[in-house]
Structure 1
Amino acid sequence: MATEGRSAPSSSATTALESAGFVRLIARADGDAIAASALLARALADRDTPYQITVGRTIAERTTRVHAPTADGDATVVVGTVDATADDEPIRLSATDRPAVLEAVDLVRDLGATPDPVLALAGVVAAGGDPGAGESEWLVERALERGLVDRRPGVAVPTADPIDGLAHSTRLRAPWSGNPEATREALADVAADPDALEADDRRAIGSLVALDTVGADAASDAAAATIGRALRPYATPEAPVATLGGFADVLTALARTEPGTATALALGHDVRDRALEGWREHGRRAHAALAAASLERYDGLVVVGVDDAPVETIARLAVDYRSPEPTVLAINEGHGPSSNRTQSDDGDDEAAIATREDDSLGAALEGIARELADAGPETDADGGVAYDVGHRRGYLRYDPGLDDETVVTTVRDLL
């Protein structure tokens, strides 16, 4: 049975890490967890403690890595939910009511290290939070004092060129999203010279983006609130990307497609060009798939059928900008060897759930996975079904023998 919301007491976690000869960091596949792992890794590096970061897409993957043999004196930190363990209990950063990166900040400070406020705030944004709100207020204050961030007009994108940033961003959904030429045409009157933008130019860009986003024919009521969180960004002049929101966007995209690159970026390695190219490709695929997607509405749920797309990003974009219902299930369509469907690396099918509601999806996702395992081919102990859960999101990986109708019905019944 999966366990969540249980983190190791700070004192015991600190003691374990202070005495560890080697630390394994096992992260959930999202931007928040990547940022949290990198913050801890930097603190360990300051202490000359060797470490390794790996990313597990599902609870089962992370649990398997927890159970891998270790040497005496080694420590394991898991950022995300894992199955209950009887022996060798890892240090858990798995609370569901706050970003994992804030748990990591607490642990880093207990170790006597200073957390990077920009990376920490990027993790907060990746978790769906607002930088400077609640527990993150002091991080913004610290970053402002050190000149690491600067609030300015405009939109939160990773690149200095607003056309490039807006065209590929998955923090917004406008009629021109995913198409650089269409974006350039839409911004022609407000971004004639992207290399020489003044505050008024950025303000005009933000206004145009907001109007195009909210005014799109398919925009939902939720679009106004969502795009509002992407406006007036914190610029990050010393970071490898242009804004906090852009940093979060890149980490979130790469956590699922190129976790090694996402981790390297969070650790401060020189992978900016590679990271941005992976982020662009992710944005292109997501927006193209959503434009061609089929949508089916139920009471409380919208099902988005896509083909060859990053399902978690599709679900989030749909719930933020397109869905009249509070929850979205993004699922591949079609069956058979000739279909170009969304699949994991091992050939299983994938689906994702995103919600605007605050309730945890953990119990529901576990129940859905069990029902699908019972309904699917008996290929192994778990019925060929694995899942993961994060803040307002869920992920499912299942045997291709399960038909879409079974997945949709199960999700509708148990959410």
Structure 2
Amino acid sequence: MSTTGRQSGDGAHDAASSLREAGLVHLAPAATGDAIAATGVLARALDAVDVPFQISVVQTPADAARATEADRTVALGRASPDADRTLGSGRPASVAAFEVARSLDATITESADVATLAATGVVGAGEEPTDPIAEALEEADIERRPGAAVPTADLADGLAHSTLVHAPFSGDPEAARATLTEHDAADPGDDEARRRTASVVALTAVDAADADTRAAMAVEDVLRPYAGGPFETVGGYADVLDAAVREQPGVAIALALGHDAVSEAALSAWRTHAERAHDAVRDATVRRHAGLVVADVDGPASTVARLLRDFRSPEPLALVADGDRAVLAAVPEYDARATLESATASIEHTGDVIGDADRAHLTVSGATETLVAAVREVTADA
């Protein structure tokens, strides 16, 4: 029987006891930064108690159905009725994984590296770390400061390749550098200068010609970061994990497991992903319907859908099709997964829906407009 991610302390203890007895644990995270961070936290705890594990990232329904010889299967960051445990249903997977890891081996979660990794997952899920993760961050001297959440010391490089914001400089480091230099914010050395940088980023994103009013709220995700960790800021680390798992899952997993040698490869994947995403957003022809915008793109559909929803869409839902895959991104008042499941109930030749309330996707056979019409019908009835 699957156990939901909203576990009590007793639930975490029960999960830890079950995993400790396993001969082999299969960790099956969704392709998100939070799920990969949670996988890294739990894998390190399993390693500490000598329980072997295998990891496979779930990006398609076929991945979710992959056969395994494991005694226990743990789904992270996604609903899975077939898993023995599901961590991250209703809250960040990293929070649930941190609790289970602490029950497995408390010394692991006292590590600054593991606490930072868990916080990275929480921030990547769009939430604020709370105790005990927040307490562990404080002990590691990782605190919020003014500025921008980027993973690189080169601010222009970080902003240009951030997928936390879409602005005129996105995807173009030289344009980002020129924007920062124009406002004397290219090399912030103190909090006052970092505040100036944050203002430049926010105003540039919000004042863009194609920006929607929601951009003013969305841009906050890249501002006032937790400073520290292996990638300058926790938010930058989260951005790298989320991008890398969509481009090179093996690199993202190795990074979450603590293999520093893959850091440059992860940054390279992050840059590639960001450039593709921002180019796709910029080139997209967006069709607007009541409650929904639609775009066909040649790029990473999940990230594009999020950026369109947050920075260009005047509607609460953004549906992006990339070949035979469609991704629906929703604002908090809507449920992307439930909407897609309802919409596809009457459509033939569609795959299972994977995702959550924020973003969900499926493989589609046939014209995208058939799915668009079905989603519009569902939202009209809401």
Query: TM-score, normalised to structure 2's length?
Result: 0.90
Map of 1:174-323 to 2, 5 A cutoff? 174-190=167-183, 194=187, 197-236=189-228, 239-270=229-260, 271-306=262-297, 308-323=298-313
Tell me the CA shift for residue 290 of structure 1: 0.7
Distance 2:80 2:140 in 1: 41
Amino acid at match of 1:283: A
What residue number does 2:123 align with? 125
Tell me the CA shift for residue 82 of structure 1: 5.0
Higher share of residues assigned helix: 2
What residue number does 2:320 align with? 330
Equivalent position SS for 1:171: coil
Q: Quick one: percent identity of the two aligned structures?
A: 42
Equivalent position SS for 2:176: helix
Distance 1:198 1:127 in 2: 28
Distance 1:252 1:240 in 2: 15
8 Å Cα contact 2:3/2:84 also seen in 1: no
8 Å Cα contact 2:169/2:175 also seen in 1: yes
Distance 1:162 1:316, change over 3 A: same
Distance 1:177 1:15, change over 3 A: same
Distance 2:247 2:52 in 1: 26
Tell me if 1:56 matches 2:58. Answer: yes
Q: Deviations over 1:120-152 (max 9, x none)?
A: 1111121121x34xxx244223212222x1322
8 Å Cα contact 2:12/2:96 also seen in 1: no
Q: Aligned residues, how many?
A: 369
Cα RMSD (Å)? 2.2
8 Å Cα contact 2:5/2:93 also seen in 1: no
Tell me if 1:392 matches 2:382. Answer: no
Amino acid at match of 1:112: D
Tell me the CA shift for residue 293 of structure 1: 0.6
Distance 1:414 1:59, change over 3 A: farther
Structure 2 unmatched ranges of 5 or more: none
Query: TM-score, normalised to structure 1's length?
Result: 0.83
What residue number does 1:146 align with? 140
Distance 2:133 2:139 in 1: 10
Distance 1:211 1:81, change over 3 A: closer
Tell me if 1:157 matches 2:150. Answer: yes
Tell me the CA shift for residue 83 of structure 1: 5.2
8 Å Cα contact 2:88/2:94 also seen in 1: no
Tell me the CA shift for residue 318 of structure 1: 1.0
Tell me the CA shift for residue 311 of structure 1: 0.6
Tell me if 1:105 matches 2:107. Answer: no
8 Å Cα contact 1:77/1:91 also seen in 2: yes
Distance 2:341 2:4 in 1: 15
Amino acid at match of 2:41: L
